[in-house]
Structure 1
Amino acid sequence: MPSQNSSSSISTGEALALAAGSEYSAISIRGARTHNLQNVDLDIPHGKLVVITGPSGSGKSSLAFDTVYAEGQRQYIESLSVYSRQFLTQLQRPDVDSIDGLQPTICIDQRPGNQNPRSTVATNTEIYDYLRLLMARLGDVSCHQCGEPVRHQSLDQIQEALLSLAEGTKLLILAPIVRGRKGQHAEALATVRKAGLVRARIDGQLCELDAAPQLDARKAHTIEAVVDRIVVRPGVNSRLAESLQLAARHGDGALVACYLDPEQEKQARTTGTTTEGLWTDRLFSTKYACPNCQVNLAEIEPRTFSFNSPYGACPKCEGLGHLNQFDPDLVVPIRGLSLASGVVAPWAGLRSATVKKSRASLEAFLTEHDKAKDANWSDFTESFFTQLLYGEPAEKTDRFVGLMTLLEQELATATDEARREQLEAYRGQISCQECGGSRLRREALGVRVAGKTIHEITQQSIYAAAAFFQGLHYAGHDQQIAKPILQEIRSRLGFLQQVGLGYLTLARSSDSLSGGEFQRVRLATGIGAGLAGILYILDEPSIGLHSRDNDRLIAALRDLQTNGSTVLVVEHDEAMMHAADWLIDIGPGAGSQGGKVIAAGTPAEVAADPLSLTGAYLSGRQTIAVPTNRRTADLARAITIAGCTANNLQNVTATIPLGLLIAVTGVSGSGKSSLINETLAPALIRKLGGVAPKPAAHASLVGTELIDKVIEIDQRGLGRSPRSNAATYTGLWDEIRKVFATTKEARQLGYAPNRFSFNVAGGRCETCQGQGLQRIEMNFLPDIFVPCPTCSGQRFNAQTLQVLYRGKNIAEILEMSIDEAVGFFENFSHIERTLVSLCDVGLGYLKLGQPSTTLSGGEAQRVKLATELARAETGRTFYLLDEPTTGLHFDDIRLLLGVLQKLVDRGNTVLVIEHNLDVIKSADWLIDLGPDGGDGGGQIMFAGTPEQLASLPENLTGKFLKPLLKH
C-alpha cells in the first residue's frame, strides 16, 4: 500500500510548504486511535486534493475532524498565551501518537445552517460588509420620504427651523462628539473641556464634565457636549446663531436640538409629574438634509446599512425583517372547517368566558355550515372568521375580543412550558410593514448605487448580482475608492456561481440552507481570504449538488490548492473520487468493524485493490443493479397539486402517482424544495388534520383521500446532547425501561420505569448525574472527562444495577450492539421492530448507548430514517425524504434502496428529493424540474420513467442518467 505520491517531482504546494519552514512533504499520522480508529498510520501528501471515503461509520470523520483538525486547532491554541486560552473553547487532544507536517487548519464542515436569523448568504461571505462600505462611500443619498436628493443644510436654515418652535420652548443645543462607539472616550471628554464647555449628555444623562461617570470600554456610548441652553423668544437670534455655529463645528457638521414644548411642561406641572420623557431630540446636519421634508440625516457610514446595529436596523422589527405573530391561517387552518374534522385549534385550551362564547359561536356556526350546501355562504363564512379572529366592532355592547388578541395575552402570561410550545406552533413570521422586510431604517433605503438600494441589490440572485456589479464603472477619484471594494465582491460572487449556488439570493437566510449549500457558501469566504499553505478540511461539499455542477465544484476546490494549500475532503461522490489526486479508503466495515486504512493511493490504485469495497464500486466489479421490472404508474390514482408559485416556481402543476418510488430531480435551485418541502408537504399534513407551517401559495390539492398519513424525513440531524443516543432517539429506551420495570426484582422493590432512566433522579448515579463521566475543569487546559468513581461509568446506582433481565443489568444493555439486541429482545415485537429497522439500514454495529455526538452525519441520518420506518404503516402512508443518501457510501445506498423498495411493495408511496444517480435509476417515476436554477428554473421538464428521461438528449439529468441504464 503506497504511503505517498509516486511522483518524484516536488509540487508547487510542497515547495511552498518547505519554504514555510516545514521539513515534511506530507502530513504524517502515527498511531491514531480516536473513536474506532485502530492505531492508524497514514501519510497525507501536501498540496493535493485528497479524498477520504469508506462506509458510513467506518472512521472517516474520526480521522479528518476528530484527529487531524482537532490537533491543528490544539496546536494553534497552544501557541497563544495562557491568558488568551481561558477565553477559547479548547478541543480535546486526539488519541494519537504523533502528527507531523501539519499545516494551519481550517475546517468547513457539514453542520446545518447558522441558526441565527440575522445571518444571510451575503453576511456569511462578507459580501454584505463590502457592500455596506460601497453604499457609504459612493452611494447617492436621497430623502426616504419624497425621494428628492438630500442636500447640505445651512446654519441659517437650521436656525429658522428652531425659531419656528412655540414661544417659551426650552432648548438645549448639543454637539455630538461620540455616537454609539465602544470605549472609555477620555480623549473626547478632554477635547470638550478644552473647548471651554462644562456639561455633556452622556448616554442620555446630563452631567457636569468634572463629575462624568467612568465609562465601560466594552459598551457603546454616546457623548454630546452641551453648547447652550436657550428659551425661544424674541431677541435670541444672534445668541442662537453663535450656539449653532459652535455646535456644528464641534459636532463635525451635525448638531442636536433637544427641546421641551411649553404646553407639555405646563401640563406636567399641573399634574405634579416630571418632564422626563417629554423632551424631543431633533438631529440637524449641515451635510445631509432634505429641503422639502425637513428630514435631517446623520453622517452616512457603513453601520447605517447594518441590520445588526441600532443605527441601521428597523426599530420595529429590530433588523429581523419580520415579526413573530399568530398566523390567522394557522389559528383556523381550514376555512371549510367541520366539527367532524377532529382538528384541534390552539384556542381549545383557553378557558376564559370570552373564549367560551367564541367557541360556542364557532360550534353553532359549524353545525349550520355542515348542513348547508349553498355556495352563497362563502361570503358569510369569511366574515364570521374575521370576527372570530379579530373580535367584533368596538361600538357593539355585547362584543367579544378576537382570538388573536386572547392568544397573544395567554402566550405572554403562560407558565406551563407545554402550553407555550403548543401556542408557539401557531405563530408565523409576518413581514414587517415598517421596513417592508428590508430589515433597515428608512433612511438607509434612501441611498442608492446605480439606482438600487442595498435591499434591492441583496434581493437579487447571485447570477443577477454578479451581472450588476460587472456593469458598475467609476472614474477618477471614485474609481480609486471602488476598485478594491468591487474586486472583493466580484471574486466572491464568481466563486458562489462556480460551486453551483448562483440561484441563491444574497438575502437568503442561512438557517434555510441545506448542509451542502451552507458549506459551499462558507467556502466562498475561504477563497476570498487568499491564504497560503493552509490545510482545508471539508465534509461532503457535493451534498445537494446536481451531477452537472460537480466539475465546477472540483475546479473550485482546485482553486483552494493554490499557494501550497492542501484540500482534504470526506466524500462519497464518485466523480469527486475519480478527480482526487490521492484517495484514502477507510473500512472495511463500520463501527468496531472499521477504523483501518484499507487502501491509499491514486483513484486507479484504489480501484484495483481487491480488498477495497470502495474500489469494487469504482472499478465496476460491484454495482447497484437497475431494477428489472418497474412498477406501473396509475395516473388516475394520484395526488395533484396545482398552481404552485413559491419562490421561482412558475405556476407549476405536479401529479404524483401513488404506490411508487418517486424521485424528484433537477439541477440545484430548480425548485425541488420549493415544490415538495415548502408547498406539498405542509399542504398534505394540514389537509390530513396535522399541524404544519403555512404551505406556500398553490391553487388546489386533490387526491389526499387516497392516503392516511404523511411522514417527513428531512436533513435535520439528531439532538447533539451527549445524553442522546440511538436508543433514546428511536423511543427504544422507554420500552426497554418498561421491560426492566416488569421483572420480579423491580416489582418487589416497587421500581417504576423511570427508575431505569439516567436522566432523572432516583435510579441514576447522582455523583455524575447519570452521565457516567465527571468533568474536571483545567482552566487554561482542555477540560478532562474521567469515569465516575462512584458508578465506574455505568451511569446508575448500585440498587438499580441489581435488577437483571435475562442476566443483564440496565447498564450492560446500553453497551449491547443493535445486532445483539435483536435476539435479546425478540419476545417484544414493538422493540424488535425498531431494532430490525436499524439493522436494515446498516446500523447493527452501533451500541444502544452510543452518544449522538459521536455519530457521523450518515449514521445520524439513518437513525432518524429507521425511527420513521419502524412506525406502524397501513399501506397508505406517504413518505417524504429529502436527500436520504447524505453521508452514505455506495454499499449503504444499496441497503437504503432495499428498505425503500420494501415500503413501496407494501402499497405505500415513497417520494425522495435526490441527486444521487443510483437512487434516480432505481425509481419507478421521475419528476424533473428545470431547465436551470433560480429564475431560469421552476418548471416541470419531465414526468415519467428513468428510461424515458434518459432518451431526452437535451435534458441535463437524463444526460448523466443514460450511461447507468445500459445493461
Structure 2
Amino acid sequence: DEMIFSEEFSCVYCNVSLGEIEPRTFSFNNPHGACSTCTGLGFKMVVDPDLVIPDKTKTIEDGAIEGWSKGGSLSSWHMSQLNSLSEIDSFRIDVPIQELEPETMDMILNGTKTKIKMSYRSRRGRTFRWNRRFEGVIGNLERRYTETESEKVRKDIERYMTSLPCQGCSGQRLKPESLAVTIGDETIMSVSDKSISEAADWIVLLENPKILSNRDKSIASQILKELSGRLQFLLNVGLDYLTLSRTASTLSGGEAQRIRLATQIGSGLMGVLYVCDEPSIGLHPADDYRLINTLKGLRDVGNTVLIVEHDEAIMRAADHIVDLGPGAGEHGGEIVASGTVSKIMSSKNSLTGQYLSGAKVIDTPQTRRLFNGKYLEIEGAEQNNLNSIDVTIPLGILVCITGVSGSGKSTLINEILYKRLSQHFYRAKDRPGKFKSIKGIENIDKVVNIDQSPIGRTPRSNPATYTGTFTPIRELFAQVPEARSRGYKPGRFSFNVKGGRCEACSGDGYINIEMQFLPDVSVPCEECQASRYNREALEIEYRGLSISNVLQSTVTEALTIFSNIPRIKTKLQTLQDVGLGYIKLGQPATQLSGGEAQRVKLATELSKRATGQTLYILDEPTTGLSFEDCSQLLRVLQRLVDAGNSVVLIEHHLDLIKSADWIIDLGPGAGDKGGNLVYEGTPENATHNKGSYTGRYLKNVLK
C-alpha cells in the first residue's frame, strides 16, 4: 500500500499540522504553547454545588440555594422558575434539599434539555407565561459571571465558585502538541512538577545512552550543564523540597530570598553588597548549615553580605555583628554593641549578647500540661506529600507542629485542618486538602488563625481602632462637660467621618501629591498640621490632652492617662503585656512590622472574654522576633492556653518547641522524603527518637 509522508510537522491523513518547535512552544505564558481552554492557567473557575447549597437540611423555601438567595430567601423571579419546574417534575420545595431525588437535584442545578412551561406573577398581579429551557442554578451563575461588566456582581458570584483542573489540559497548562514532546518519557510539565532534588537526579539520569544518544548529548551538553549548576545552587540553600512549578505567591519570604540568593551565586559577581532580611525564615535548624555555607560562599569570592537576622546559628557564624537597641520603638535606635560574636556576648548592655552567652535564657517549663481528654483527630491526610497519615491533636494545651522545611506541616494544619474548620464555623469557600475525616470538631467553638499579615492596608487602620480601644476613648471624650454642652457625640471624634475630622485631608493628616514619573509624595496637611481633626474637635480635652494627643501617645503613656477607665485600661494592658508598650495608639498599620501586627492581633484575642474552647493557629510566629520578643510571645501564648484554649504552632524555633506541652513531628525529610508522622509526645521524649531531626536539636536546649 502507498503511504504518504510529509517533510513538515504535519499528517496528511488526520489533517494535523504543527508549527516549528521553539522555546515559546513550551511556555504557558505564550499563546503558541498555552492551552487554549484555560489560557495557560491550568485551572478554570467553576460554580461549586456545595458552595451554592451549603446547608442541605434547609428547604428551597427557606433559602437553601444561597447562590440565588438575598436576605435568606429567594427572589420572586427565581422562586417562580423553581415552582414551574416543580410542577413538571413533581417535587416539593418545602422539604429539605437532602431529601430530593438525585435526578431532581441535577435538574435544579444543571437545568433541563427541553423547553418547559414557565409562569411569573408580577407585583402588580399580572401573570406572564412562556416556554423556555430552564438553565439551572449553575448555568445561570456561570452565564452572569461571564456576561456581567460589574466587578461587584463578579465578586459576589465568585463566592460560589472554586478552581478545578482544566479539562482541556488536565491541569498541565500547555497544548496537547507541546505535551507530546518528551525526553526520556518525561514532558516539560512532568519535569516541572518534580522537586528540585528529583529534577537534579533526572538530569543525571540523562547521561544514560538509552535516553540521549551521543548526538543528542553533544547538542544538550551546555544546556544540561547550565541546568545542573542552577539546580545545585538551589540545593545548596536548602530548597531541595520545592517543586519547580511552585507558584511564587505560595513561597515564604525566606524561601523567596534563598531563591534570589541562589540566582546571585550563579551570576558569579564580585565586589557586590548583598542585603538580606531574615533569609532563615521557614528554615529548620537542620538546614541552617546550607544557608550559612551559601552566605560564606558569597563572602569568599569578594562580596560583602549584610544580614538582618534573629537566627542564633547565623549570628554565631557572622564575622561582625551590629546590635541595635536597647529596646524597641522610641526606646531603641542606638548601637548597643558592635564587633565579633565574643565581643557582643561580653557586652552587658546587649540583650542579644546576654542570650548568646547564656546569661539570659528562655526557661524550659518545669512541668507539662496534661490535656483535657478532648482531641481533634485528622484521619487519612494525603494532600501534597502527606502519606495518608492519621494525626491526633490534643486540646487544652500548647501543641507544636515540627519538622524540616517541606515536611508537610503547613499542608496538614493550614490546607486541611484550618480550611475544614473554616468551612464548618464560617462557611468559607476554600476547599480543604484531601483527607478522610476530622473528628472532635464539636470540642471547639471557633478557630482563629493569627498570622503576620497587616492589621489594615491603609494608614487609617491603627492599633487603637483594631483592638477596639478607640471606641471607648471617643465615648469618653464625648462625656467631657465641654463636649456635652456643645452636643458632641462620639462620632465627632472619629477621623473617618465628617464632623470632627479635618476636611482638607479627609482625616488622613497627610496630603498625597501625585508626581509625574516619580513616586507620590505625602506631606503633612497644612490645615490641621497632621493632627487629623478640625479646631472644634481639638478644643475638647481630657486631662489636658486632645483626641489627637491621645493618638500620638504610646501604649505605656496611655495606660497612665486612662488608669481609672477600666474599659480602656483592660485593652491597653493586653498591648503592654505582649511587649507593645512602645507603639503609638494611632500608629498607621502600614508602619507596623509583621511581628508587631501579629502581637496586636494576639492582644485583641486576649482582651476578649475567653470561651475556653477556641483553637488558635499560628504559622511561624517567631518570624522577625528577637530572643526577648520570643520570650514575650511565649508568655502570651501560655496565657491563652491557661484560659482553657488550645494553641497549635507551626514552628522551627527551638525555644518555642521546648516550651510546648506536646510535639507532633512530621518528616523525616522534605518533599517525597517527608509526609509521615515521625513522633508525637513531649519534647523530652522527642530527644530519644532517632528518626526525628527536631529531637536531635532539642537535646542541646533541654540540657
- TM-score tier (shorter): 0.7 to 0.9
- Equivalent residue number for residue 471 of structure 1: 205
Other-structure match for 2:653: 916
How far the C-alpha of 1:429 sits from its partner, in A, is 1.4
Output the aligned Cα RMSD.
Answer: 3.0
Q: Hey, what does 1:617 align to over in structure 2?
A: 355
Matching of residues 5-24 of structure 1 within 5 Å = none
What is the CA–CA distance in structure 2 between the aligned matches of 1:434 and 1:662, rounded to whole Å? 44
Question: Which moved further from structure 2: 735-744 or 808-817?
Answer: 735-744
Aligned pairs for 1:469-618 (under 5 A) are 469-473=203-207, 478-479=216-217, 481-618=219-356
| Greater Cα shift, 849-858 or 878-887 | 849-858
String of CA shifts for 1:404-425, please: whole Å, max 9, x gaps. 2333455568899777655433
Do residues 391 (structure 1) and 115 (structure 2) align? no
Matched with 1:318 is: 39
C-alpha change, 1:609 and 1:428, in structure 2 (3 Å) is same
SS in 2 for 1:792: coil
Name which of 176, 186, 190 aligns with 1:442. 176
CA contact under 8 A between 2:116 and 2:134: conserved in structure 1?
Answer: no
920, 926, 939: which is aligned to 2:676?
939
Alignment check: 8 A CA contact 1:713 1:868 kept:
no
Q: What letter corresponds to residue 470 of structure 1 in structure 2?
A: V
- Is the alpha carbon distance of 1:762 and 1:323 closer, same or farther for their aligned partners in structure 2, counting shifts above 3 Å? farther
* Letter of the 1:293 counterpart: C
Superposed CA offset, 1:282-327 (max 9, x none): xxxxx32234432111222222222222222222222211122322
- Deviations along 1:138-180, whole A, 9 cap, x unmatched? xxxxxxxxxxxxx9835xxxxxxxxxxxxxxxxxxxxxxxxxx
Aligned partners of 2:687, 2:218: CA distance in 1, in Å? 53
CA deviation map 1:635-694 (0-9, x unaligned): x42111111111011111111111110001111111111111000111122223542511
Structure 1 position 751, deviation (Å): 4.8
The structure-2 alpha-carbon separation of the partners of 1:357 and 1:783, relative to structure 1 and needing over 3 Å to count, comes to closer
Alpha-carbon distance in structure 2 between the residues aligned to 1:784 and 1:743 = 38
Q: Report the CA distance between 1:333 and its aligned residue.
A: 3.4
Displacement, 1:885?
Answer: 0.9
CA distance 1:333–1:477, change in 2 (3 Å): same
Deviation at 1:583, TM superposition (A): 1.2
- The aligned residue for residue 30 of structure 1 is none
CA distance in 2: counterparts of 1:690 and 1:525, whole angstroms: 42
2:535 maps to what in 1? Answer: 798
Measure, in 1, the Cα distance between the counterparts of 2:328 and 2:525: 29
Distance in 1 (CA, whole Å) between partners of 2:568 and 2:38 is 48
**Gapped runs of 5+ residues in structure 1?**
1-150, 155-286, 370-376
**Equivalent in the alignment of 2:626:** 889
Partners of 1:572 and 1:890 within 8 A in 2: yes
Relative to structure 1, the CA distance from residue 803 to residue 408 in structure 2 (aligned partners, 3 Å threshold; closer, same or farther) is: farther
Q: Which amino acid aligns with 2:48?
A: D
The amino acid that maps onto 1:578 is R
| 3-state SS in 2 of match to 1:561 | helix
Q: Distance in 1 between matches of 2:113 and 2:475?
A: 56
1:331 maps to a residue whose letter is: V
Matched, 1:366 2:96: yes
The change in CA–CA distance for 1:594 and 1:410 in structure 2 (over 3 A counts) is same
Please, which of 495, 499, 505 is the counterpart of residue 758 of structure 1? Answer: 495
CA contact (8 A) 1:532 1:562 kept: no
Shift of 1:453: 1.5
Residues 313/638 of structure 1: CA separation in 2 closer, same or farther (3 Å cut) = same
Cα deviation for residue 527 of structure 1 reads: 2.1
Aligned equivalents of 2:431 and 2:30: distance in 1? 31
Change (3 A) 1:794 1:424: same
TM-score, with structure 1 as normaliser: 0.65
Task: Please state how far the C-alpha of 1:778 moved relative to its aligned partner.
Answer: 6.1
The aligned runs of 1:781-930 (5 Å cut-off) are 784-826=521-563, 829-930=566-667
Aligned residues of 1:880 and 1:910 also touching (Cα < 8 A): yes
Q: What amino acid does structure 1 have at the position aligned with 2:78?
A: T
In the alignment, structure 1 residue 303 sits paired with structure 2 residue 19: no
Q: CA deviation at 1:951?
A: 1.7
State whether structure 2 residue 458 is matched by structure 1 residue 458. no
Matches within 5 A, 1:19-30: none
- The higher relative CO (CA closer than 8 Å, separation ≥ 6) is in 1
Look up the match of 1:354. Answer: 78
Asked which structure has the greater CA Rg, the reply is 1
The alignment partner of 2:377 has SS state of: strand
Q: CA deviation at 1:598?
A: 0.7
Q: Alpha-carbon deviations, 1:514-571, whole Å to 9, x = none?
A: 2222222222222222222111111111111111001111111122224311111111
Which stretch of structure 1 is more off in the superposition, 729-738 or 437-446? 729-738
Match of 2:6 in 1: 153
Q: Structure 1, residues 40-71: CA drift from partner, whole Å, max 9, x if none?
A: xxxxxxxxxxxxxxxxxxxxxxxxxxxxxxxx
Q: Following TM superposition, by how much is the alpha carbon of 1:826 offset from its aligned partner in structure 2, in angstroms? A: 4.8
**2:610 touches 2:643 (CA, 8 Å); kept in 1?**
no
- Does the 8 A contact of 2:329 with 2:583 survive in 1? yes
Assess, with a 3 A threshold, how the Cα gap between structure 1 residues 454 and 769 changes in structure 2: closer, same or farther: same
Identify the residue that residue 194 of structure 1 maps to in structure 2.
none
CA distance in 2, matches of 1:414, 1:820: 53
748, 767, 785: which one aligns with 2:504: 767
For the 8 Å contact 1:709–1:878, the answer to whether it is kept is yes
Q: Amino acid of the residue matched to residue 305 of structure 1?
A: F
C-alpha distance in structure 1 between counterparts of 2:471 and 2:92, whole Å:
40
Give 1:216's aligned residue: none
Q: Is this contact kept in 2: 1:333–1:686, CA < 8 A?
A: no
How far does residue 732 in structure 1 lie from its aligned partner after superposition? Answer: 3.5
The one-letter code matched in structure 2 to 1:691 is A
Letter in 1 for 2:161: R
Cα 1:766–1:658 change in 2 (3 A) is same
Who is 2:122 aligned against? none
- The SS at the match of 1:688 is helix
Match of 2:407 in 1: 670
How far residue 508 of structure 1 moved from its aligned partner, in angstroms, is: 1.1
**Is contact 1:537–1:569 with CA below 8 Å preserved after alignment?**
yes
Query: 2: CA distance between counterparts of 1:829 and 1:389?
Result: 54
- Given that 2:162 and 2:429 are in contact with CA atoms closer than 8 Å, whether structure 1 keeps it comes out as no
Helix, strand or coil at the partner of 2:17: coil
1:343 touches 1:689 (CA, 8 Å); kept in 2? no
1:644, 1:650 within 8 Å by CA — same for their partners in 2? Answer: yes
For the residue of structure 2 that corresponds to 1:774, the secondary structure is: strand
Could you say which residue in structure 1 is the equivalent of 2:9?
A: 288
C-alpha contact (below 8 Å) 1:355/1:403 kept by paired residues: no
Kept after mapping to 2: 8 A contact 1:772/1:792: yes
2: distance between equivalents of 1:677 and 1:447?
A: 37
Give the TM-score normalised by the residue count of structure 2: 0.88
**SS of the residue aligned with 1:469?**
helix
**Sequence identity (%):** 49
Residue 476 of structure 1, CA deviation: 6.4
Q: Cα 1:449–1:417, aligned 2, differ >3 Å: closer, same or farther?
A: closer
The answer for the alignment partner of 2:167 in structure 1 is: 433
**Contact 1:688-1:704 at 8 Å conserved across structures:** no
What does 1:684-763 correspond to in 2, within 5 Å? 684-741=421-478, 743-746=480-483, 749=486, 751-763=488-500
Alignment of structure 1 residues 52-67 onto 2, 5 Å? none
- After superposition, the Cα gap between the structure-2 partners of 1:547 and 1:829, relative to the gap in structure 1 and judged at 3 Å, is same
Deviation at 1:837, TM superposition (A): 2.3
